[in-house]
Amino acid sequence: MKTLHKYSVHIGKESLDYLQQFIANNNYSGVVVLTDENTHKHCYPLLKGSLSSYNVINVKSGEGYKNLSTCLSIWQQLSDLGCDRKTLLINLGGGVLCDMGGFVAVTYLRGIDFVHIPTTLLSMSDACIGGKLGVNFNGIKNQIGMFHNPKAVFINVDFLKTLSEKHYLSGYAEIIKHALIASVQLFSKLIQSGEYKENIEKLVTRSIKIKSSIVCFDPLEKGRRKALNFGHSIGHALESFFIINNHRKPVYHGEAVAAGMIAESWISWKRNFISIEELEMISSLILRFFPKLNISKEDIPKIAANVKMDKKNEYNQKLFILLNGIGQCRINEIVTDEEIMLSLEYYLSL
């Protein structure tokens, strides 16, 4: 079985001290920091004191720039700076920069070292772990890429102070997902917590442990790692629906996944995999943080039709991750169109 190399994850205020040590220990010929305009403004000032000599490559922010054109520009700048194989690339940003910076590093000169300094809640609790790298292509998310781990990850939740609420919530949805698929204890903590920023460093740490424990058994997503897609089959269908119907207020990934988790929990309940009390707890936790999406009964068939585009489907069958009690899940469950539509009706009824 192919495995990916191990790497250390440093969490806490002192994590940037470890970065200094890491750079000193590895005798790099040069260090390049990759930023976008927001992380350059808000996060780079916190980082630069930890570095002595380095260059910065700055790209435009957002999913729309996670593509090969931006990679070309980064490769060009690395080349213009004379970066050799002993250069370190530091990805200072959210999931977009972690995925794209890692991809650029693995392909430049057949591979230079890279580390992630995630700066969004989503990248801290999810994207910086597991080695998925890549960019969007022809309008399809993450169509070009590879699995390759960073040399290390450095997490300081102080970066989150400047993050917008909507991006904060996107990350929170993934933390809820980690609890639902793998930890009833974490789920109880989330239920008890007052607001979503409470104890965020502990939640990030717990989330990373859960994701690491899943990906280390299935680094290339042949089986168990698919669990991390819970809520995403219907979530992605909702996202596509709002992209197509662009006269409506757009929804963010986390909001769509949050609604998807409610719907997919309903299917889990319908199949007797979770109790009605569990379904109600899940729905009320999610609705505490995520307002209901603006969809109507007439939209449901269109949203359900989008599920057929899901990457997890095989042989024309819609394969879902369903819960098996809170904290456990079942992968590759074949789901019918009727179940999908009824689950969305349940969501609407809340």
Ligand X SMILES: NC(=O)c1ccc[n+]([C@@H]2O[C@H](COP(=O)([O-])OP(=O)(O)OC[C@H]3O[C@@H](n4cnc5c(N)ncnc54)[C@H](O)[C@@H]3O)[C@@H](O)[C@H]2O)c1
Interacting residues toward ligand X by CB under 6 A? 36, 38-39, 42-43, 61-63, 66, 93-97, 99, 119-120, 122-123, 126-127, 130, 132, 141-142, 159, 162-163, 167, 170
SS3 assignment, position 265: helix
SS3 content of the chain, % helix, strand, coil (to 5): 55, 15, 30
**For residues 61 and 306, which CB has a smaller minimum distance to ligand X in the complex?**
61
State in angstroms the smallest separation of the CB of 125 from ligand X: 9
State in angstroms the smallest separation of the CB of 14 from ligand X: 19
State in angstroms the smallest separation of the CB of 41 from ligand X: 8
**For residues 96 and 204, which CB has a smaller minimum distance to ligand X in the complex?**
96
**For residues 73 and 324, which CB has a smaller minimum distance to ligand X in the complex?**
73
Written as six digits, the tokens of 259 are 């609604």
**For residues 62 and 82, which CB has a smaller minimum distance to ligand X in the complex?**
62
User: What is the C-alpha to C-alpha distance for residues 194 and 192, in angstroms, rounded to an integer?
Assistant: 6
The DSSP secondary structure of 196-222, one letter per residue, reads: TTTTHHHHHHHHHHHHHHHHTT-TT-S
SS3 assignment, position 70: helix
State in angstroms the smallest separation of the CB of 300 from ligand X: 26
C-alpha distances (whole Å) from 159 to each of 61, 121, 188 are 16, 9, 26
User: What is the C-alpha to C-alpha distance for residues 149 and 170, in angstroms, rounded to an integer?
Assistant: 23
Written as six digits, the tokens of 12 are 């806490």
Element (H, E) at 232: helix 232-244
Closest among 227, 289, 292, 241 to 263, alpha carbons compared: 292
**For residues 34 and 331, which CB has a smaller minimum distance to ligand X in the complex?**
34
State in angstroms the smallest separation of the CB of 21 from ligand X: 23
Q: Yes or no: say if 66 and 99 are a contact pair by the CB < 8 Å rule.
A: yes
State in angstroms the smallest separation of the CB of 67 from ligand X: 11
**For residues 162 and 284, which CB has a smaller minimum distance to ligand X in the complex?**
162
**For residues 87 and 119, which CB has a smaller minimum distance to ligand X in the complex?**
119
User: What is the C-alpha to C-alpha distance for residues 340 and 259, in angstroms, rounded to an integer?
Assistant: 12
For residue 147, list its beta bridge partners. Answer: 132
State in angstroms the smallest separation of the CB of 158 from ligand X: 9
Which residue of this chain has its Cβ atom nearest to ligand X in the complex?
Answer: 95
**For residues 95 and 231, which CB has a smaller minimum distance to ligand X in the complex?**
95
Closest among 147, 333, 347 to 226, alpha carbons compared: 333
User: What is the C-alpha to C-alpha distance for residues 230 and 263, in angstroms, rounded to an integer?
Assistant: 10
State in angstroms the smallest separation of the CB of 343 from ligand X: 23
Backbone angles phi, psi at 152, to 5 degrees: -170, 165
**For residues 155 and 293, which CB has a smaller minimum distance to ligand X in the complex?**
155
State in angstroms the smallest separation of the CB of 280 from ligand X: 28
Helix axes 200-215 and 165-182, enclosed angle (nearest 10): 50
